[in-house]
Amino acid sequence: MKRILLFISLSVSINLLAGSVLAEEISKEQIKGLDEQVQEIKKDVLGISSELSLLEEKLLYPSNTQISVFVSFQDESGFRLDAMDIKLDGQEVTHHVYTAKELEALRNGGVQRIYTGNIRTGEHQIEVSFLGKALIGVYKKNASYKITKDVKPKIVEIKVAGQGFGDAIEFKER
């Protein structure tokens, strides 16, 4: 009789143990499935965020009033660009302090979009000033340029050059 009770209790214990192992496998599979669903949701959210950013830009900056200002850099004399201010029609629209990584990108031929905004059609004055360090010390330069905005988007490139390049700020419209 003791053997039968021992056998029954042993079989119940084995069944309980097997049941808990099965439950662990199911929960691992469920967790893996949940992880995959979370990754899919993250991917969808990133896609939606990208689409929303594009829509926001189209709404905030319609093409018939849009102006974008880009900065490029030309220097081989060791000039370091520290900061830039841009005014449009006498109002400051942006102030930017450059990091080492941004300067590196500009030195390697990169172009930075420094400002995007809205303006009416017609003539406008853009004023640029930059501050940097050259071999002789602190170097500061100011320049202004008159642009004419029509119905199409306006793109203005500001090419900054260090000391010794004649005109240190050059404007190009596109």
pLDDT tops 60 at residue 70: yes
pTM value is: 0.65
Segment 3-31 mean pLDDT: 59
In terms of residues, how long is the chain? 174
Mean pLDDT of the chain: 83
Question: Kind and range of the H or E element at 39?
Answer: helix 2-60
pLDDT of 76 higher than 80? no
Distance CA 66, CA 94 (A): 16
